[in-house]
Amino acid sequence: MKNSKYILSVALFATSLLLSNCQPQTQPEGQENPQAELDIEDTKVIKQLFDEALTTRETYQLLDHLCNQIGTRLSGSEGAAQAVDWTEKVMSDYGFDKVYKQDLFVPNWKRGDKEVAKILGSQDELTVLALGMSVATPEEGLTAPVVQVQGLEDVKEMGREAIEGKIVFYNRPTDQRLIRTGAAYGGAVDQRVTGPAVAAQYGAVAVVIRSVGTAYDDVPHTGTTLYMDSIPKIPAAALGFQSADRLAKALEQNPDTQLFLKMNCQTLEDAPSHNVIGELTGTEFPDQIITIGGHLDSWDVGQGAHDDGAGCMQSIQVLRLFQKLGIQPKHTIRAVMFMNEENGTRGGKKYAELAEKNNEQHLIALESDAGAFTPRGFGVTAEDSTLTKFQSWLPHFDQNTIGYIKKGGGGVDIGPLHQTLGTPTIGFMPDSQRMFDVHHSANDVFSSVHPRELELGTASMAGFIYLIDKYGL
């Protein structure tokens, strides 16, 4: 009895194992998008691209070097210069048909010493990062009462009487309800981008903001703030989420709470820098260019792993995968490491300027600047007919990689090309859940990148570009 029951139990257990979610034997490998019939040869090539990326993990190896050997790459920094030299060398060593740089000048902002933010009369030191391009406080720091607001409108409504001489504290949280965290980020970032300029209009002496992001830790997130020429520039900084909560609580207990803020950041003269470009020359249409890019610069905290070392290494690897598999593109395909996305977009503008000046023909441009996370889809800014054509290719992709191709998408660096030449643009859209936990913060490091997720991004981009090159728009 015992024996036969046990054997039955084993058999049932084995059967139930086969029924689980994780069993491949009963299911085809992967989950194909259910649609039209397509050239099976293309599906094969795209599978090869995925296989190669997932097994060699060359994107991951390059990103490791960029993050751990070079590190942060703020425009004008030593790291940015090293990254320019190194990516040029990497692409030269791969033997791409052309590798070259575009010269430009970039803003040259320096954070200076570690910033200090303290609630007066308290031992509580808040975590803080100066916003990019912020001016310094006076050398000895600055102390002022704090007025908490939920947004720009509050400042305008409260007016000069309430704001003058104060530190304005923008404390509206990033909305956790939105599924695409990029949308949540976009809904909160006005506090950072224009909050300081608006507060200055009403006489504020400084601004602190609740970091824009989705985490609940105490790591502050930096990012550019934009001053206006006609208005005084005031120091501006981001607090960690928990620090923002502590400041809010202090204000609740004592509305006269004062904050001490000290930072000695400065903006030097514009510095020389470069976009770095690698090309595979097209066999049929060498004068028609497909751009794939990310931005090589990063903020000066963390390692710029997701933002946007990943996009740069992926762009190089798209060409590398073509090369390895012997795919000779019909159009010229460029991997572009754009400089200075974070605080000026000078690289993107220079690229567009030269494209126009040199009468270049640009078929389309794709940017990866939304993180190294597992792919979800592509967003496309192009004619409806192009969008429809692209969508017909979905069955080539496992639904767990590219699940949709939607209308609308691009990137900061390829925006100027779109504006100047009308070039259609594509934005790679990875899963967004983790991006704004780390974005612009000390947590944007290589160890937070998952090798398979990163490589699935590379292969998705390569597969999509392969189809565009072969079939056009």
Contacting a second copy within 320-379 (CB under 8 A): 344-345, 348-349, 367, 369-370, 374, 376-377, 379
Considering only residues 16 to 75 of the shown chain, the ones binding a second copy according to CB under 8 A are 16-17, 19-27, 29-31, 33, 50-51, 54-55
422 makes contact with a second copy (CB under 8 A):
no
Cα 63-67-71 angle, rounded to 5 deg: 150
Pick between residue 71 and residue 107 the one whose CB is nearest to a second copy: 107
Amino acid letter for position 228:
M
Instruction: List the alpha helices (DSSP H) in 20-77.
Output: 40-56, 58-64
214 makes contact with a second copy (CB under 8 A):
yes
Query: How many residues belong to the site for a second copy (CB under 8 A)?
Result: 89
The token duo for 154 is: 């509050």
Shortest distance (Å) from residue 266 CB to a second copy: 17
The helix or strand, by DSSP H or E, that contains position 99, with its residue range, turns out to be: strand 98-110
Name the segment binding a second copy (CB under 8 A); options: 137-145, 274-282, 325-333, 419-427.
Answer: 419-427
Name the segment binding a second copy (CB under 8 A); options: 202-210, 256-264, 265-273, 414-422.
Answer: 414-422
Pick between residue 88 and residue 413 the one whose CB is nearest to a second copy: 413
Shortest distance (Å) from residue 393 CB to a second copy: 16
Of positions 324, 330, 406, 470, contacts a second copy by CB under 8 A: 406
Comparing CA positions, the residue from 275, 225, 232, 239 lying closest to residue 109 is 225
How does DSSP classify residue 343? Answer: T
Pick between residue 115 and residue 398 the one whose CB is nearest to a second copy: 398
Name the segment binding a second copy (CB under 8 A); options: 198-206, 258-266, 321-329, 407-415.
Answer: 407-415
Comparing CA positions, the residue from 280, 269, 296 lying closest to residue 412 is 296
The Cα-based distances of 66 to 69, 193, 312 in angstroms read: 6, 28, 10
Question: What is the C-alpha separation between 453 and 178, in angstroms, rounded?
Answer: 22
Amino acid letter for position 129:
L
Of positions 145, 386, 399, 470, contacts a second copy by CB under 8 A: 399
The Cα-based distances of 31 to 156, 297, 405, 426 in angstroms read: 52, 36, 17, 24
Pick between residue 23 and residue 361 the one whose CB is nearest to a second copy: 23
Kindly report the backbone phi and psi dihedral angles of residue 282, in degrees, each rounded to the nearest multiple of 5, phi listed first: -65, 145
Name the segment binding a second copy (CB under 8 A); options: 154-162, 242-250, 324-332, 429-437.
Answer: 429-437
DSSP strand pairing (206-210 vs 236-239):
parallel
Of positions 65, 101, 110, 180, contacts a second copy by CB under 8 A: 180
Considering only residues 268 to 287 of the shown chain, the ones binding a second copy according to CB under 8 A are none
Gyration radius from the chain CA atoms: 25
12 makes contact with a second copy (CB under 8 A):
yes
How does DSSP classify residue 132? Answer: B
Shortest distance (Å) from residue 229 CB to a second copy: 5
Shortest distance (Å) from residue 90 CB to a second copy: 22
The DSSP code sequence of 350-416 is HHHHHHHHTT-EEEEEEE--S-SSPEEEEEEES-HHHHHHHHTTGGGSBTTT--EEEE----TTTHH
- Give residues with Cβ within 8 angstroms of 142, minimum separation 6: 167, 205, 206, 235, 260, 261, 262
Shortest distance (Å) from residue 369 CB to a second copy: 6
Shortest distance (Å) from residue 210 CB to a second copy: 16
Considering only residues 76 to 115 of the shown chain, the ones binding a second copy according to CB under 8 A are none
Name the segment binding a second copy (CB under 8 A); options: 14-22, 62-70, 246-254, 277-285.
Answer: 14-22
Say if CB 369 and CB 341 are below 8 A apart: yes
The token duo for 23 is: 């069993």
1 makes contact with a second copy (CB under 8 A):
no
401 makes contact with a second copy (CB under 8 A):
yes
Pick between residue 17 and residue 268 the one whose CB is nearest to a second copy: 17
Considering only residues 221 to 240 of the shown chain, the ones binding a second copy according to CB under 8 A are 224, 226, 228-229
213 makes contact with a second copy (CB under 8 A):
no
Shortest distance (Å) from residue 387 CB to a second copy: 11
Partners of 98 in the beta sheet? 279
141 makes contact with a second copy (CB under 8 A):
no
For residues 182 to 211, the per-residue mask of contacts with a second copy, x marking binding by CB under 8 A and - elsewhere, is xxxxxx-----x------------------
Shortest distance (Å) from residue 81 CB to a second copy: 22
Cα 428-431-433 angle, rounded to 5 deg: 135
Pick between residue 329 and residue 371 the one whose CB is nearest to a second copy: 371
The Cα-based distances of 146 to 19, 164, 188, 256 in angstroms read: 60, 11, 20, 7
Name the segment binding a second copy (CB under 8 A); options: 65-73, 108-116, 234-242, 450-458.
Answer: 450-458
470 three-class SS: helix
159 makes contact with a second copy (CB under 8 A):
no
